[in-house]
Structure 1
Amino acid sequence: MRIPTCVFSSTAEPAVRDGHAVDRFVQVASLTKVVTGTALVQMATAGVLALDDPVERWLDPNRRLLAPGRAGRPRRPWTMTGAILPAGGLWATPRAAADLVVRLLVERRLGYPAPSWQTAGPLHWHNGAVRHASVFTAATDDGHWVMIHQLNAPPDHTDRTGIALLQGARTPS
């Protein structure tokens, strides 16, 4: 099976195969969450909100945002301590997604990575999938990073490929 793939990393020029493109708009899945998480941390730092504010504090009570759940019961909106946005709400080019990763995780232009990034020791990462697109991105504290976007691939394949690329970048020659 052909898996259109686009890879950006700290150690090589962008690479594409099987019809993917660096400047074609694609769904970036759960990267939406890290973008939103970063914005929320910045607003909390500025004193605009608190990270544990209930979302209802910021919503117009006369506007219904959610359709009823199963059996017609009302559903609560997401809170700032739970899921922030539904996956797949953001489209970007792989190049723009890679630039975002570098600015947030490597250059840390907006400070320490927001809690919406997964962390394991010196590794900050996030992954996601929506419809037929999956993405994995990660960076280490020493500045190595990778962003891989695939079409028609199972998310675990994208994750494994991204991890292997990142591990290869960190292996001494």
Structure 2
Amino acid sequence: MEDDGGERSSFVVGLIENRAKEVGMAAFDLRSASLHLSQYIETSSSYQNTNTLLRFYDPCVIIVPPNKLAADGMVGVSELVDRCYSTVRKVVFARGCFDDTKGAVLIQNLAAEEPLALGLDTYYKQHYLSLAAAAATIKWIEAEKGVIVTNHSLTVCVFFHTVLSYLLR
């Protein structure tokens, strides 16, 4: 499916992981002004969960922090993008742009629904990686695409681990 800009997809995806192999993902749909947040533990060395979600979103841009060597022979999200998504524009953003505190503030200000109604009150503490990915993704969209998200206009979808487990089967 192509939009007016000729891009096949309208999703911009931000990815970040920690040493425990938890992955935070923020998928921003430029067409609908919606943000899909998810955080999960990557259980396979091939990053199968991340790969499945990337195939689902079919992003036009993937934003990652600078590559660092992954422990235990795991490839890391940046290497997964290089290996499996070479035709997708990869943007490397400074690790400081992946700021979970800024992400939480952005979601509080931009979400169309009250954060409490979304169940985000406990989400902030437990799913900081997806908030960090959201901060970098929104910052890039505003800077690169010139899209300014106004307060209380963003639809935020939060995928908890149990929902993701079902979707990734």
The TM-score with structure 1 as length reference comes to 0.24
Q: Which has the higher helix share?
A: 2
Larger Cα-atom Rg: 1
